[in-house]
Chain A
Amino acid sequence: MGERILEVENLTVDIPLAVGTLHPVQGISFHVDRGETLCIVGESGCGKSLASLAIMDLLPKRAVRRADRLVLDGKDILNLPESRMCDIRGNTMGMIFQEPMTSLNPVYTIGNQMIETLRRHRRVSVEDARDRAISLLEKVGISAAASRLGQYPHQLSGGLRQRVMIAMMLMCGPDLIIADEPTTALDVTIQAQILLLLAELQREFNMGLILITHDLGVVARIADRVAVMYAGQMVEQGSAASIFTHPAHPYTRGLLDCIPIPGKTRRGQPLGSIPGIVPSLIGTVTGCRFAARCPRVLDVCATDPPFRDGPAPGQAYRCHLDSTGSEPGAGATP
C-alpha cells in the first residue's frame, strides 16, 4: 500500500422530490490507497452507486452533493467546474459500469472509441493511440486485437465487451478505477476471468480500485478492505478478513447468513434472512437505520448510533452494541 489516492469525508447526496427530500447518501467517509481494492457492498437502494456517481460528479442535475473533503491524488475535486472534471474523468479516474453494451457507443467502432479516449486527454497521434489500443486489447486477453479495432460493440460477446471497457479505461493510465457492478451481467465463468484480470491489472499498474457490488462472494475474493452500506450510511468498514471472519454490525452478520455456501450451509435447510424492508429515506431520518429489522434492537436505537472500533484493527462499525455484543452501559466484559 502507499500513497492515498482518494479521500472522501462526510459525503452527502440529497435529491429533492415532490414528496420531500430523498437522502440516498448520508455522510459517508472512506479512502483508497494506491494498489488497494476497496469494495463497497450493500443491497439495492443503499446508495452505493449514487456514492460512486457523486465522486465522479455524474449525479443527476437536481441532486445536491455536499462533502467536507473530496480529494483525488492530492487535489481537491469538490469544487471543480465541469470542464475540469471532464479532464479528470477517463483520465486519472477510470470507470467501468455494469452493462458494457450500454456504456459503449453502438455506432462507433471499438478502435474509434478507444483512440478518442486517449486523444481527448493527451496530445498523441492517431497512429500512436492506435498502437496503444492494440497493446491494451492484447493485455486484457483479446486475440487478433488489430482486427477487433474495426468491430462494433454488437459484434462482441458480453465478456469481450467488458474486456474492451477495461482496456479503454486503461488508455490514459488512471490512478483510480471505479467499477460499478462490473461482472453482474456476465456468466460465472466469465465473471471469474474479468475479476482476475482487474486484480492483475490493478497490481501491475498500482492503481486504486473501488469495486461496487452486491455479491459478497466477489467481495471476499478481491477486496483488501470492505465498506458495508445500508440505507445511505456506512455501517461497517474493515479489512476483508475481519469483515468475513468476525462481522460486528448486525446487518453485516445477517447478510452473511443469507447466502448459501456449498459445503457450509446445509442443503435444504432454511437460510438466514433479514425480515422487513429498507426504511424510506425521504424526509428526516433519525436513529439507527437498521433498527426496524435488527434482531437485537434496543430502546436506545432510536438515537443515532456511534462509530465503534470492531474486534480487528481498522474495523469500525456503527451500532449501539459494542463488539462483544454487550448493551451500552452494561459494563463491557471482554
Chain B
Amino acid sequence: MSDTVLEARNLTCTFMISAGAFRGRRPLHAVNGVDLTVARGEVLALVGESGCGKTTLAKIFLGLQEPSGGTVRLNGQPLSALARLDRARFVQPIFQDPYSSLNPRKTIGEIIALPLRVQGAPNPASWRSQVEDIMALVGLRPQLHDSYPNQLSGGQRQRVAIARALINKPGLVICDEPTSALDVSVQSQILNLLQDLRRDLNLTYIVISHNLAVVEHIATRVAVMYLGRIVEEADTETLFARPRHPYTAALLESVLTPDPSLGIPNTQLGATFPNPVDPPSGCAFHPRCRRATAVCAERAPRPVSLTDGTVACHLYD
C-alpha cells in the first residue's frame, strides 16, 4: 500500500451552462487545473467561498461527477478504472445536512447496514452485531437501532451518517460541511468524534468547510480555492500563522473569533464574487485584491512551491 491515498493531477471540470436567452451556452470552469495529493492519515481541508468549486471537487472524488480532464488516483489506481462498488468501499461521504441525507423511511439499523448489503458483505448473520459495534463507536445507544431518523436529534442523525460512512472501513472519508447544520454544542461533539475516529481507525479525511475556526481545529493541511483553482496550500499551522495569498489573508481576517475587544473586520474585498462564467482576466482574484498590480490583470500566476507550501500569486513569483 502506498502512502498516498488520493492524487489528482490537472483536474478540470467544465459545465456548459446557458448564458441567458438566445445567447447560447458557455463554459463554466468549476474546477480548473487542480493538483492535489492527500497522504494517509491526513486531514485536508478545502476552504473557499461558495461557488469556488470545492463541492464539485468532492463530487469528482466520490465518483458522482465525471471530470472533464485530468486524472484522479485512489490508492494508486485510476478512479476511472475502479468499479462503482470498489470505489464506494474505499471512499465515503458525510454530508452537511443530516435531515436530508438519511432516508426517512428506513430505520437507523437499516441505514447503517445498507453499505454492507450493497457490497454483499459476507456472513449476513453478523451484520446486526457489526451495526451495533459501529453505533457504539459513534456514540449511539443500541436502542436507537429500530428508530427512524425523524425520532433523532440533529447531532444523533449526523452520528448515523458517520456510522453509515464508516461501516465498510473506508480509507478516505469526504466530509462536506459536516457540522454547519448543527448547533454549537453539538458541533463540538461531532468534531471531537471525528477526531477520535480518525485516531482509532487510522482514517484520512477531506473536510470541506467555510468555517475556518473548525478547519484550524481539525485539519492538518489546508487548500484554499478560488474560482476553481487552488490558490494556496500549506500545513494548517503555517497557513494560519503566515497566510501568503492575499485571498487567504482576507479569509482569515473574516473569521469572527468570540473576542469582544475586537470589532468587525473590514476585509475590503468588495461586494461581488466574480461571475464564474465570466472570470476576470489574469489572476481571477485581482479585482478584489488590495495588492494587485498591472501584471495581475494580464496573466494568471503559476503555483510556486515554497518550502512549506504552494501559492499561486505574482507576489511570490
Given A189-B267, A277-B153, are A256 and B258 also a contact pair (CB < 8 Å)?
Answer: yes
**A262 contacts B185, CB within 8 Å?**
no
**B213 contacts A261, CB within 8 Å?**
yes
**B264 contacts A260, CB within 8 Å?**
no
Residues of B within 8 Å of A190, CB to CB, are 49, 271, 273
Residues of A within 8 Å of B89, CB to CB, are none
Residues of B within 8 Å of A146, CB to CB, are none
Given A221-B264, A272-B188, are A188 and B251 also a contact pair (CB < 8 Å)?
Answer: yes
**A259 contacts B260, CB within 8 Å?**
no
Answer whether residue B64 sits at the interface, using C-beta atoms and an 8 A cutoff.
no
**A189 contacts B49, CB within 8 Å?**
yes
Segment with Cβ contacts to B, from A7-15, A23-31, A126-134, A192-200: A192-200
Answer whether residue B84 sits at the interface, using C-beta atoms and an 8 A cutoff.
no
Residues of B within 8 Å of A103, CB to CB, are none
Residues of A within 8 Å of B272, CB to CB, are 157, 159-160
Chain B residue with the shortest CB-CB distance to A226: B260
Complex CA gap A257/B256 in Å reads: 16
Chain A residue with the shortest CB-CB distance to B265: A192
Answer whether residue A240 sits at the interface, using C-beta atoms and an 8 A cutoff.
yes
**B254 contacts A192, CB within 8 Å?**
yes
Residues of B within 8 Å of A188, CB to CB, are 49, 210-212, 251, 254-256
- Minimum CB–CB distance for B211 against chain A, Å: 8
Complex CA gap A319/B272 in Å reads: 47
Answer whether residue A187 sits at the interface, using C-beta atoms and an 8 A cutoff.
yes
Complex CA gap A267/B240 in Å reads: 12
Q: Which of A159, A220, A270, A274 contacts B256 (CB 8 A)?
A: A220
Chain B residue with the shortest CB-CB distance to A267: B217
Complex CA gap A187/B210 in Å reads: 7
**A193 contacts B256, CB within 8 Å?**
no
Chain B residue with the shortest CB-CB distance to A159: B271
Interface residues of A in 198-256 (CB under 8 A from B): 199, 214-223, 240-241, 243-245, 254-256
Given A189-B251, A214-B183, A260-B191, are A220 and B260 also a contact pair (CB < 8 Å)?
Answer: yes
Residues of A within 8 Å of B237, CB to CB, are 267
Residues of B within 8 Å of A272, CB to CB, are 188
**A260 contacts B256, CB within 8 Å?**
no
Complex CA gap A43/B186 in Å reads: 10
Chain A residue with the shortest CB-CB distance to B288: A189
Residues of B within 8 Å of A192, CB to CB, are 253-254, 256, 264-267
Total residues of chain B contacting the partner, CB 8 A: 46
**A163 contacts B185, CB within 8 Å?**
no
Complex CA gap A155/B184 in Å reads: 33
- Residue interface mask B260-293, A partner, CB < 8 A = 1: 1111111101011100000000000000000000
Answer whether residue A2 sits at the interface, using C-beta atoms and an 8 A cutoff.
no
Answer whether residue B80 sits at the interface, using C-beta atoms and an 8 A cutoff.
no
Chain A facing B: main interface SS: helix
Complex CA gap A223/B271 in Å reads: 24
Complex CA gap A190/B259 in Å reads: 19
Residues of B within 8 Å of A240, CB to CB, are 260
Given A221-B262, A258-B184, A259-B184, are A189 and B254 also a contact pair (CB < 8 Å)?
Answer: yes
Complex CA gap A223/B254 in Å reads: 17
Residues of A within 8 Å of B183, CB to CB, are 43-44, 214
Answer whether residue B216 sits at the interface, using C-beta atoms and an 8 A cutoff.
yes
Answer whether residue B197 sits at the interface, using C-beta atoms and an 8 A cutoff.
no
**B257 contacts A262, CB within 8 Å?**
yes
Chain B residue with the shortest CB-CB distance to A256: B258
- Residue interface mask A261-275, B partner, CB < 8 A = 1: 111110110111110
Residues of A within 8 Å of B50, CB to CB, are 158, 187
Residues of A within 8 Å of B265, CB to CB, are 192, 196
Residues of B within 8 Å of A189, CB to CB, are 49, 250-251, 254, 267, 269
Answer whether residue B65 sits at the interface, using C-beta atoms and an 8 A cutoff.
no
Residues of B within 8 Å of A223, CB to CB, are 260
Chain B residue with the shortest CB-CB distance to A216: B258
Answer whether residue A305 sits at the interface, using C-beta atoms and an 8 A cutoff.
no
Interface residues of A in 139-194 (CB under 8 A from B): 141-143, 157-160, 163, 187-193
Given A216-B184, A217-B213, are A193 and B269 also a contact pair (CB < 8 Å)?
Answer: yes
Complex CA gap A270/B192 in Å reads: 5
- Minimum CB–CB distance for A326 against chain B, Å: 26
- Minimum CB–CB distance for B4 against chain A, Å: 22
Q: Which of B188, B195, B250, B264 contacts A268 (CB 8 A)?
A: B195
With A192-B264, A261-B213 already in contact, 6 other A-B pairs whose C-beta atoms are closer than 8 Å: A44-B183, A159-B272, A189-B267, A189-B269, A259-B258, A265-B217
B residues touching A (Cβ–Cβ < 8 Å)? 49-50, 153-154, 183-185, 187-189, 191-192, 195-196, 210-214, 216-218, 236-237, 240, 250-251, 253-267, 269, 271-273
12 residue pairs bridging A and B, Cβ less than 8 Å apart: A188-B49, A192-B267, A196-B264, A196-B266, A214-B184, A223-B260, A241-B260, A258-B185, A259-B213, A267-B217, A267-B236, A268-B218
A residues touching B (Cβ–Cβ < 8 Å)? 43-44, 141-143, 157-160, 163, 187-193, 195-196, 199, 214-223, 240-241, 243-245, 254-265, 267-268, 270-274, 277
